[in-house]
Amino acid sequence: MNRRLPFAFALWVAVAIALIPRSHAQQPQRFLYAGVPGVGNAVDHGGVGILVFDMDHGYTFVKRIPTWMSPEGRPAEGVRGIAASAATGRLFVSTSRRLAAFDLATDKVVWEENYGGKCCDRMAISPDGKTLYAPAAGLPKWYVINAADGKLITSIDKEGSPHNTIISDDGRFAYLENQGRVTPYITVVDAKTHSVVRQIGPFGDIARPFTINGKQTLIYANTNNLLGFEVADLTTGKVLHRVAVEGLKTENSPVHGTPSHGIGMTADETEIWVSDNTNHFFHIFDATKMPPVQKTRVHLRDEPGWVAFSLDGKIAFSSTGDMIDVKTKQIVGTLQDEHGQDVESEKVVEIDFANGKPVRASDQFGKGAKR
């Protein structure tokens, strides 16, 4: 009898087991982080805090990370911006009174700054997690901030009321949008030197939320008094097209003061999703054509003010708390807090964890990803 056979067999079994794919428990866990109040200062859609939802189990509520309770008689601190860096394990949250960094492992505040009481609208984090661009509140400038400790590196002057910020996925440029009667432009900044390199526009009216394609050749922007968006060339700075939603009533939203506040591009760059604040729709446009052509729409449970997308590109996150399948255009989930109350927020990011550590984080803006 060959006594070596059992050993050889055992060795074969061990190798075979080692080659079996890892179990589901070892796959990244996906969570949606939502800052509330996330639509103005209203606390009736989720209260106050950072709410975390399990994306892999029907967007069930996981926990509430405490933020800042306002003194009695004062309005709640509405969340103005949210960003995350898996590289540094930090979550960044801005309000009109402060900007803070949270440790994603402990949920504790790492640092908090108010920059002389002039803080902060929708900011953006560089891909390496080292630098924040944050719009000042009440000042015509952007802060450039060391994300490790919140200290100011420099500032960038921009006339008007600073509002929204995008940093490109390659980290080369920051895009700054402000509001103001004399500034219907979006500013492009070299993210290495923090210097202005060009202005995009003028748009037909004040630019509002916007997005870019992956090659940074096109920008799509909501503008005041337009149910739809405008398209501009990022190379020349010139506006190319004005795209309006046809056949529906147009009124300025009492929340955002414009018919369309919220626009996103799918990562594969085939679609543009546009908020309809008047009629409570997302209008979806075919972005493979120029100008983009409307193809369908999705009705939502409330007024949409923002749209972002999951890291895998399969789900659209509506600020109404509706989670929408990008392929079928069907609502597949809705956000509710620990009390069963509907949650709405324009400030959401996906953060994926593996072995308890963040490994990927999405952007609060839906941007194209083709380069």
- Asked whether residue 21 is assigned to any structural domain, the reply reads no
Same domain, 179 and 276: no
Lowest mean pLDDT among 10-24, 76-90, 204-218, 290-304: 10-24
- DSSP, res 165: E
Same structural domain for residues 175 and 211? no
Same domain assignment for residues 297 and 348: no
User: What contacts 267, CB < 8 A, 6 or more positions away?
Assistant: 309, 313, 366, 367, 368, 369, 370
Whether the pLDDT of residue 344 is over 80: the answer is yes
| Whether the predicted pLDDT of 282 surpasses 70 | yes
93 and 120 fall within a common domain: yes
Q: Are residues 103 and 162 in the same domain?
A: yes
Structural domain count, the chain: 2
What's the pLDDT band for 287 if we cut at 50, 70, 90?
Answer: very high
Question: pLDDT-based confidence at 209, cuts 50/70/90?
Answer: very high
- The answer to whether position 347 is within a domain reads yes
Q: Does residue 305 share a domain with residue 170? A: no
Kindly report the number of other CB atoms within 10 A of residue 19's CB atom: 7
Cβ of 74: how many Cβ atoms within 10 Å?
Answer: 9
Q: Is residue 76 part of a domain?
A: yes
The answer to the question of residue 22 being in a domain is no
Residue 57 and residue 185 in one domain: yes
**106, 218, 369 from 269: Cα distances, Å:** 36, 11, 7
**In a shared domain, residues 132 and 55:** yes
Residues 193 and 285 in one domain: no
Task: Note whether 169 and 86 are same-domain residues.
Answer: yes
Are residues 183 and 235 both part of a single domain?
no
Q: Give the residue-averaged pLDDT of 292-320.
A: 97
Domain range holding 170?
A: 27-200+341-366
Q: Does residue 305 fall inside a structural domain?
A: yes
Any alpha helices (H) in the chain, and if so which ranges?
5-19
pLDDT at 219 over 90: yes
Distance CA 260, CA 252 (A): 8
pTM: 0.92
Instruction: Examine residue 19 and state whether it is found in any structural domain, yes or no.
Output: no
Residue 25 confidence (pLDDT): 52
Q: Report d(CA 366, CA 309) in Å as an integer.
A: 6
Asked whether the predicted pLDDT for residue 2 surpasses 80, the reply is no
Judgement on whether residues 118 and 42 belong to the same structural domain of the protein: yes
Confidence check: pLDDT of 9 > 50: no
Pairwise CA distance, residues 84 & 125, whole Å? 7
For the chain, the straight-line distance linking the first and the last C-alpha, in angstroms and rounded, comes to 64
Residue 14 lies in a domain: no
Question: Any idea what the CATH number is for the domain that residue 158 is in?
Answer: 2.130.10.10
| 2 within some domain | no
